[in-house]
Amino acid sequence: MASISSGFETSGDWQTKVANKRAKCLAAIPKAWLLPQSLSDTVPEQSEISKVKLDLTALELPRRSGILTDKELDITESYTVSALLENLASGKLTSFEVTLAFSKRAAIAQQVTNCLTETFFEEAQQRARYLDYLREKGELAGPLHGLPISLKDTYQVEGTEATIGAVAYIGRTSTENSALVNTLLGLGAVLYVKTNLSQVLMSADSDNNIFGRVLNPLNTMLTAGGSSGGDGALIAFRGSPLSVATDIAGSIRIPSLCCGTYGFKPSAGRVPYGKQVMPLNPGITVLLPSAGPIANDINALQIFMKTVIDAAPYRNDSTVFNLPWRNVGGSLGPKLRLALLAEDPLFPYHPPVKESLDEAVRRLQQHGHEVVFLDAAECHVAAATQVAMGLLSLDSTPMEIIASGGEPAVPSVKNLGRQSQEIDWNFVPITKDMDGLKKLGVLQNKRAELAEAWRKLWVKYEVDAVIGPTAQSTAVEHDCFSLPAYSTFLNVLNYPVCVIPFGKASSELEFAPKRGQGTCAYKRDVVEGAPCSIQVFTGGMRDEECLAIAGVVDQCLKKRVELKL
């Protein structure tokens, strides 16, 4: 069975550190929450499970294991975040029983998908009991009173580790909380687990030498995405109602695509980012990372954003702008004017992506919304991706961290540089004789050109938002995800983006990328049934409009209009 302790040799110094860390993590799961042998034997070891097409959610392991009661199954499967908060506030549900339910389910998810790093179940239960005590006295700790929330491993929680998948960081215990952690605790949330991720956040495949590979619970042959793959897998397995991740090139949106969840990348500076463990030189942070939510319903994204920003986090974290949350619901017209992002020739769509976009456009038009079709030349997707790759390559810190731990880079990290070198870039005039400072100047100038080009585009078309694909593919086989052009270019522009799951991969068409294109091979039988999604984005700092418009789009996509003949 796939688990945090399987398939690892303990020879050598770094291997010994990893083996000890894995054993410690396994011991933190209560024995009563371990899957019985009869069920464990139905799930192959991780080295084998990643080679077979297995839908873990269809196995109903939480129900068949007997670990969760019927009420706990109902809590984890039947409630939206809004409904949970309403029932927690009214006392119909206690924080202790909700926390216990999601803790049990997260523990099961970990045993079959490797989606977790740190767990602090006992501390979470103690906090839940305290919150229930407050509720009995007629008090609420805040608008997130009693809600369990999971965190990406980059967030510091005092007394736990934040290794970010780097052997060099094993044993470094956090002595303080990240700024967002303090904000969430102040709002009444319960924190109970941290989630697995890419090795030092450096690929779209969540795999590292410490905790192993995150498996996609919908199809174990496919990647869960990265770098926040543990968040996506945990949410898809319903082991968390809401998870907080990070995004510097698509790390919220790619796992949302791969695992069939909703996700939101805010504009950088809207959500607290301070005191996270990041594999970057803080003096040359060239792309601003964002913190944002992943959930199973779109309203949860709005609840998270509004609640966090209403808490005035700028008072405690200098990474946040003093920008109150705006109510924009009434400012949207009855019909939206949307633009469709064009397919970039360097990053062609796999057939399911193209077909899901075509169907999304049809449904939006059937509901009376206008769709403007953009041209690839004015979207600059490849150009922005080349700028992003150039900027990120200026910082050698991630590879230095890996090397300092004595560990090797995992395959997906090794593939990143190779993929970039194989693409026929033509936008940034970088020469070999340029030093780092000259390269930075060229790249920043090109980024400014792109920002100006998109400013003109917004003015020219006067659209409310733009829709497009989250990536050029669905989830693909492990270590095969292409450079995430359709997510990365929006980090260059620092635009807010919402991912909406829509459709499943099902196509009779064939596809093969040409030499010089940044798209992996399309294996129709392997990806059959994989989630598809679309992105909705607006201009910078229009996070409120982005989520409001995404809500309208989501409703349209859920309702097929039958045309009368």
Q: Is 151 annotated as a binding residue?
A: no
DSSP characters over 293-349: EEESSHHHHHHHHHHHHHT-GGGT-TTS---PPP--GGGS-SS-EEEEPPPPTTSPP
For the stretch 225-274, pLDDT in tens is 999 999 999 999 999 999 999 999 999 999 999 999 999 999 999 999 99
| Per-residue pLDDT, 4 | 37
- Nearest alpha carbon to residue 61 among 76, 83, 50, 78: 76
Distance, in Å, from the CA atom of 172 to the CA atom of 505, rounded to the nearest integer, reads 42
Within the chain, which residue ranges are assigned CATH 3.90.1300.10?
A: 50-279+288-315, 337-558
Is 284 annotated to bind ligand?
A: no
Q: Give 37-74 pLDDT, tens digit per residue.
A: 999 888 888 778 888 999 999 999 999 999 999 999 99
Closest by CA to 233, choosing from 220, 248, 246, 247, is 220
Q: What's the pLDDT score for residue 563?
A: 45
At 431 the pLDDT is 80
Q: Which segments in the chain show pLDDT lower than 50? A: 1-11, 563-565
- Active-site residue list: 152, 227, 251
229 has binding-site annotation: no
CATH of range 50-279+288-315; options 3.40.50.12780, 2.70.70.10, 3.90.1300.10, 3.10.180.10: 3.90.1300.10
- Listed in sequence order, the residues at least 6 apart from 38 whose beta carbon sits closer than 8 Å to its beta carbon are none
- Between the two ends of the chain, the Cα-to-Cα distance in Å is 54
Q: What are phi and psi of 477, to 5 degrees?
A: -60, 160
Q: Pick from 102, 154, 493: which is nearest to 292 by CA?
A: 154
The class level of CATH for 337-558 reads: alpha beta
Q: Is 170 annotated as a binding residue?
A: no
Do the annotations mark residue 402 as ligand-binding?
A: no
d(C-alpha 280, C-alpha 284), whole Å: 8
Residue 322: how many CB atoms within 10 A of its CB? 9
Residues 6+ apart with CB under 8 A from 57: 217, 218, 236, 237
Is residue 341 a known part of a binding site?
no
- Please give the Cα distance from 220 to 526 (Å, whole number): 10
Q: Strand, coil or helix: what is 458?
A: helix
Tokens at 141, concatenated = 């700790």
- The per-residue b/e assignment along 80-89, b for 16 or more CB within 10 angstroms, e otherwise, is bbeebbebbe
